Amino acid sequence: EDLTVDSACDVIEKTNNNTQITPIHCAAINPNSKYLKQLLSIVSEHNIKDKYERRPIHFAAACEGSESLEYLLSRNANINDVDNGGNSPLHIAVTNGRARNAQVLLRAAKEKSESNDADDQTVYEKFGLASINQMNKSRYYPLHLAVLNNHLECVKVLVEFGARVDGFTTISTGKLIALMLACQKGFLPIVVYLIEQGAKVEARDRFKRTPLIHACIYGNAHIVSHLLRIGANANVFDSSSNTALHYAIAYGWYFCVRLLIEAGANINCVNCWQTTCLGVGFSKGHYGICDYLLTEHHANVNFKTDEGLTLVMITADL
């Protein structure tokens, strides 16, 4: 059924709520492109913005179908336009798990990159196809967003079209690569795929923490198991000499602790404050893990921190 439109003004009239979207925006997110075509035939406003500077192509990128997106691209909608959060249509597509839309955007961008358009070529050289290697204002690449939202198919599409597997967030946001984010979230299929595509298992973030340490912080024992099985260093330590075992014990993740020790982690190593893993366990109140370290692995109890504290003193202060 066709829409009943009284005037061109109705097509571009913005809502009174905070988003200020128009009928064109709403039509763009509809899997059936019929209504979008009808509205744009009345008023050719395919780049109209809402309050957040999102254009119809951003809404089409989030759509469960690709019809509207393909139509907008046929009308030369800009693939690289960003909203006020710095999100390109590609950022939007992969955040919402729209692998097909991501593919459409990247293929269209590839065709443009092969043309002689100087503007397209400049953007391509700086950020890759469809801004695939451009950060948004939250300092995430499209690949990071696909990983954070557990969209493996989107991850595969992005890598296929040239996303940097080891591209990291800014120093202010931790200098994290996609593999670290997947380890934090516990998304094993994505972890496996990223490593297959060349992600570095021993990569370091701002604080020299590796993917294994990130998995230990978040208690993802299945990720820890996989990383150790493929050769991750069980005795890895960060800029403060805290090992993966220090972290696993500090956060109380028993199964991560067991996996690390079985893989050869040193239970008596100290951090830069001269605190052992056992000392960290007592200071955090994880007495079950401490009992395991003492009874099963005879952890050293005769240590002093750089402040001269013994294990008894640490426990007495709790």
Render pLDDT for 289-308 as a digit per residue (tens, 0 to 9): 999 999 999 999 988 888 88
Considering the chain, what percentage of its residues have pLDDT values greater than 90?
Answer: 77
Q: At what angle do helices 188-196 and 221-229 cross, to 10 degrees?
A: 20
What are the tens digits of pLDDT across the range 126-154? Answer: 899 999 999 999 999 999 999 999 999 99
CA 307, distance to chain mean position in Å, is 39
Cα(151)–Cα(145) distance, integer angstroms: 9
What single-letter amino acid sits at 152? L
pLDDT at 80: 94
* pLDDT number for residue 114: 81
Q: How many whole angstroms from its chain centre is CA 214?
A: 13
pTM here?
A: 0.92
Residue 38, Cβ neighbours under 10 Å: how many? 15
Q: What is the average pLDDT across 85-110? A: 97
pLDDT score for 173: 85
What kind and span of H or E run contains 217? helix 211-217
Tell me the C-alpha to C-alpha distance, in Å, between residue 137 and each of 55, 58, 86, 173, 263.
Answer: 17, 16, 5, 11, 40
pLDDT at 10 over 60: no
Kindly state which CATH superfamily the domain 1-138 is placed in: Ankyrin repeat-containing domain (1.25.40.20)
Q: Which residues of 145-178 are buried (b: 16+ CB within 10 A; e: fewer)?
A: bbbbeebbebbbbbbebebebebbbeeeebbbbb
* Tokens standing for residue 102: 């991501």
177 DSSP β-pair partners: 168
Note the pLDDT tens digit of each residue in 169-185.
998 888 999 999 999 99
* pLDDT above 70 coverage of the chain, percent: 92
Task: Give pLDDT tens digits for 228-281.
Answer: 999 999 999 999 999 999 999 999 999 999 999 999 999 999 999 999 999 999
> Closest Cα to residue 249, out of 275, 231, 225?
275
